[in-house]
C-alpha cells in the first residue's frame, strides 16, 4: 500500500476501535476471530439478513434464528416451511430459500469454506457476501463493497462517474486501502462510517476521521456522490386477496417455490403477479364481501391489493390448509398478506 492508503486504513481502524457498533453478530474490534464453529454461521446469517435490510430490522430476526437454530446443522435440519415462517416480514424471500439451501450444502460438506472463491460457490452468496464472510469470519484479505462502502469510497476519492458504471473504479479504490491485517474490522469500519457519519443525506463531515483525506469533501458538496442515474417510475399493479373463513379457521395456501414470496404461506389471490389489473378469477362461486384494499411496494412495482371475504363453508380447490385465526401470527405470512389479514380482522 502507498503511505496515503496506509494512513487511511490505520486512521479508520483507530476510529473503529473507539466507535464500533455493538451488534449481536460482531466480534469486539481487534479481537481474534473465535475458533468455535458457530462463529462463521453467525457472520453468514447476519450478512444474508442484512442484504437490503436495516440493522434495526435484522436484530430481532437474528436473535430468534440463532436461539432456535444455533448452528448450520440445526438450520439444515429445519423444514422449509419453518424457515420461511420465521423469515416472514423480513422481505426479499429468495434470501430465505437460499438460506436453507446453503445451510444444507454446508452441512453436507462438513463445514464452511474459508476462502472467498469457495464461498462464492454456495447458494445465495454473491460477491459482497462472500467477501464479507471471508474477511470477517476468517480474516482473509477481501475487498468488501456494499452500498455504504460505495458511498464512502465515491466521496473519499471524488469518483464522479455515475453508478453502476463507477463500480469498477470504486472496487479498485477500495482494494487499494484494504489492509492485509484486520480486513474484517476494516470492512465493518467502512460500513459503520457510512451508516453513521458519511450518510447519504447531510453527511457529518466535521466528525469524519477521514476528512483530511476526502477529495469529495475538498471539492465541495460530497452529498451529491455517488452519482446515480434518475430512478424509473415503478409500475402500478392491482389484485385481490381472498379471506375464506369457516369455524374460526382461514384458508391458507403455500405459494409456488419461486418468484416473489415463493414458498411462503399466504392468502389465495387472483394472480396479480402475472397481471396488471387484478381481474383474475375468484376461487369460489359465492357471495364475496369487499373489505377495502391494502397498499404495498415491492422493489419493482407498487401493488394495490383488494381484500374480499366469504364465510361460506366451502373448501377451495387445490392444496391448502385451514389455519386457526387465533394463531394466525404463527403462520409466518409475508408483510403483504399480513396487511391483508389485518384488514380482514379489523372489519369484523
Q: CB of 253 within 8 A of CB of 265?
A: yes
C-alpha cell belonging to residue 101: 439451501
Domains 3-224 and 236-346 share a fold: no
Three-state secondary structure call for residue 79: coil
**Distance, first Cα to last Cα, the chain:** 67
Tell me the H-state helices in the chain: 3-19, 38-50, 55-68, 72-77, 80-87, 94-109, 116-119, 127-138, 147-156, 167-177, 183-196, 215-219, 335-346
Q: CB of 225 within 8 A of CB of 159?
A: yes
pLDDT in tens, 2-60: 558 999 999 999 999 999 999 999 999 988 877 766 899 999 999 999 998 999 999 99
The per-residue pLDDT of the chain, averaged, comes to 91
CATH class of 236-346: alpha beta
Instruction: Return the active site residues.
Output: 47
Q: Cell match 377495502: residue? A: 292
- Strand 321-324 and strand 249-254: the pairing is antiparallel
Q: Which residue has the higher pLDDT, 118 or 31?
A: 118
Neighbours of 45 (CB within 10 A): 23
Delimit the domains of the chain by residue range.
3-224, 236-346
Residue 340 confidence (pLDDT): 96
Taking alpha carbons only, the member of 188, 181, 177, 182 closest to residue 213 is 177
Beta bridge partners of residue 250, listed in sequence order: 245, 323
Cα separation, 68 vs 63, in Å, equals 9
Complete DSSP assignment for 105-133:
HHHHHTS---SHHHHTTSTT--HHHHHHH
Stretch 82-101: mean pLDDT: 91
Cα separation, 65 vs 121, in Å, equals 24
Q: Cell match 457476501: residue? A: 129
Stretch 104-126: mean pLDDT: 92
pLDDT in tens, 159-180: 999 999 999 999 999 999 999 9
Taking alpha carbons only, the member of 101, 95, 32 closest to residue 58 is 95
The CATH architecture assigned to 3-224 reads Orthogonal Bundle (1.10)
Amino acid at each position: 500500500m502507498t503511505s496515503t492508503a496506509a494512513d487511511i486504513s490505520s486512521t479508520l481502524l483507530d476510529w473503529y476501535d473507539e466507535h464500533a457498533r455493538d451488534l449481536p453478530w460482531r466480534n469486539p474490534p481487534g479481537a481474534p476471530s473465535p475458533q468455535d464453529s458457530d462463529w462463521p454461521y453467525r457472520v453468514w446469517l447476519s450478512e444474508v439478513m442484512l442484504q437490503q435490510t436495516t440493522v434495526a430490522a435484522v436484530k430481532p430476526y437474528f436473535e430468534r434464528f440463532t436461539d432456535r437454530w444455533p448452528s448450520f446443522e440445526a438450520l439444515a435440519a429445519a423444514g422449509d416451511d419453518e424457515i420461511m415462517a420465521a423469515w416472514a416480514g423480513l422481505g426479499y424471500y429468495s434470501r430465505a430459500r437460499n438460506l436453507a439451501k446453503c445451510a444444507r450444502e454446508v452441512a453436507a460438506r462438513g463445514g464452511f469454506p474459508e476462502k472467498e472463491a469457495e464461498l462464492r460457490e454456495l447458494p445465495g452468496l454473491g460477491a459482497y457476501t462472500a467477501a464479507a464472510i471471508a474477511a470477517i469470519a476468517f480474516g482473509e484479505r477481501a475487498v468488501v463493497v456494499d452500498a455504504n462502502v460505495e458511498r464512502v469510497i465515491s466521496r473519499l476519492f471524488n469518483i464522479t462517474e455515475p453508478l453502476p458504471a463507477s463500480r469498477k473504479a470504486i472496487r479498485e479504490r477500495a482494494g487499494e486501502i484494504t489492509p492485509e491485517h484486520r480486513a474484517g474490522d476494516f470492512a465493518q469500519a467502512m460500513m459503520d462510517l457510512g451508516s453513521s457519519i458519511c450518510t447519504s443525506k447531510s453527511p457529518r463531515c466535521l466528525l469524519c476521521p477521514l476528512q483530511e483525506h476526502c477529495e469529495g469533501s475538498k471539492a465541495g458538496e460530497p452529498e451529491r456522490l455517488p452519482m446515480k442515474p434518475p430512478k424509473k417510475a415503478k409500475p402500478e399493479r392491482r389484485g385481490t386477496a381472498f379471506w375464506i373463513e369457516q369455524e374460526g379457521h382461514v384458508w391458507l395456501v403455500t405459494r409456488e417455490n419461486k418468484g416473489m414470496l415463493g414458498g411462503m404461506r399466504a392468502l389465495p389471490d387472483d394472480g396479480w403477479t402475472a397481471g396488471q389489473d387484478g381481474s383474475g378469477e375468484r376461487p369460489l362461486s359465492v357471495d364475496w364481501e369487499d373489505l377495502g384494499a391494502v397498499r404495498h411496494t415491492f422493489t419493482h412495482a407498487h401493488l394495490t391489493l383488494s381484500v374480499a371475504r366469504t364465510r361460506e363453508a366451502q373448501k377451495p380447490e387445490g392444496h391448502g390448509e385451514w389455519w386457526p385465526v387465533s394463531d394466525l401470527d404463527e403462520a409466518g405470512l409475508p408483510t403483504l398478506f399480513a396487511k391483508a389479514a389485518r384488514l380482514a380482522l379489523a372489519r369484523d
